[in-house]
Structures are given as structure tokens and as C-alpha cells.
Amino acid sequence: MLRVENLHKKFGDLHVLKGVNLKVEKGEVVVLIGPSGSGKSTLLRCINRLEEPTSGRIFLDDEEITSDRVDINRIRQRIGMVFQQFNLFPHLTAIENITLAPIKVKRMDKEEAYRIGMRLLEKVGLRDKANYYPHQLSGGQQQRVAIARALAMNPEVMLFDEVTSALDPELVKEVLEVMRELAREGMTMLVVTHEMGFAREVGDRVIFMDHGVIVEEGAPEEIFSNPREERTRRFLRMIL
Ligand code: ADP
Ligand code: MG
């Protein structure tokens, strides 16, 4: 479904991604782990075309999304992304946050967008909070609205970048539960997280990245119980 080929990204002299190759199959949940600064966010941002790769190619199905001719808005409809900082529009209610892009970008009629939005709020357990503004919601609730907002575009792939890292510990579970449910429904997901329990239970594959390269990948069991590379072992010792 998603294929990254020899991806490089430089910021000036800083070589952040140094030839990343990656495949995510349809319905697969791939968990990306690695030290801070290793290039995880940059990789996700390149996939969503928030960053311009320096070289290399990215394919969604058989379409090259790194091509100059591609419509970036259409790519962002097909690839949803959720961030550590929820990035909700503060002056819009939960339901307005969710329906904005379907109405503006997809030109969906308002009633239909609202109907879909309410169904998504229900899915993330927030039907009763539709008319609340972000500042009236907890961090976990805001993040669940952000997930619903991404889903409203009916994406084929979802990218999650440390979506629970800014949350108080007691709010992490409710967000992971929504992600777990999405995975169960067969959503294709690429997830950057430090939640190793989630990686073990939900991940089909774990990828360890360091200094802009993929050091090791495998089934969660393999990576956590029997990592082959010393760098992986050192990282896991530090976080587990
Ligand atoms: P991670 O998500 O694994 O912590 P990032 O992808 O955020 O890593 O960052 C990798 C490196 O790229 C870091 O050294 C970071 O400072 C640098 N970097 C990220 N974005 C930019 C940018 N827009 N301009 C310059 N440097 C950047
Ligand atoms: Mg990051």
C-alpha cells in the first residue's frame, strides 16, 4: 500500500534521512521507534508531503506521490496524519473541526459532513462533546477529536506521530484504545510511539530507526525479546 524507496532528506547541511526503505502492506500496523532526533517525524512528514524529500520516491498503491505532478491536497486526503500537539482549530467546536475539511476540500454538503462527523465522534466516544471547543476538552478528548478529524477525509493510510506523548498518563489509554479499534477494523497505520505495550499488542511489525536509517525491523516479539543489533538493545534498555 505504502512504499518508501531510498528516501533522503537534508535540512541544509543536516542529513536527517539517509536512504530509508520501507513498505507498509494494506491493513498492516507498523510501529516506528527510535531515539529523539533519529528522523521519525521527518519520515512521516515526507510521506504526507509536509516536507519535500531531497531524493528518493514514495508510492501510495502504484501512484508516485513524490512526483511533481501530484496534487498534494489529494494525497493528504488519502493519507491522514495525527500529531503530538493536537492542532485543533481553537475557534471551532469539535464537530466544526471535523467537518471543515470535508466541506471545504471535498465539497461535501454540510448535512452529510455533519452526519459523518457525528458518527466519527461516536466512534471516538465523544458524541456528547460535539459542540465543545477545544479548550473545554481534556488533552485525551482533543486528541480523539483530532483522530476523528483525520478519519473524516476517509483516508487509506493513517500516520500517528507520538500522539500520546503530550498527554497526562491517565489520558493515554483512551487514545490508544481508539487506535487499537482502528487497527482491528483493518486500517493501514504507521505509528511512531514510545508506548511499547501498544507496539507489542497492536503492531504487526516494529521498525527501529537511528540517525536517519532503519537499523532493524521485525515482529514485535523478535525486536523486544531478541534484538539483533546492539543499537536496538541499547535503546530498548533505556526506555523499558
Ligand atoms: P524524531 O521525530 O525522530 O525525534 P525529527 O524527524 O523530528 O526526529 O528530527 C530529526 C532531525 O532533523 C533533528 O536533528 C531535527 O532537529 C532536524 N529537523 C527536523 N525538522 C527540521 C527543520 N524543519 N529544519 C531543520 N532541522 C530540522
Ligand atoms: Mg518526532
User: Residue 95: which of 137, 147, 133 has the closest Cα?
Assistant: 133
Give residues with Cβ within 8 angstroms of 105, minimum separation 6: 73, 77, 153
Mean of the per-residue pLDDT values of the chain: 96
For ligand 1, whether the C-beta of 14 sits within 6 Å is yes
Average pLDDT over residues 124-131: 98
- pTM for this prediction: 0.96
Task: Report pLDDT digits (tens) over 11-63.
Answer: 999 999 999 999 999 999 999 999 999 999 999 999 999 999 999 999 999 89
Q: What angle do CA 36, 39, 45 make, to 5 degrees?
A: 120
For ligand 1, whether the C-beta of 38 sits within 6 Å is yes
* pLDDT value for 240: 79
* pLDDT value for 193: 96
Rounded distance from Cα 41 to ligand 2 centre (Å): 4
Rounded distance from Cα 116 to ligand 2 centre (Å): 31
Average pLDDT over residues 167-183: 96
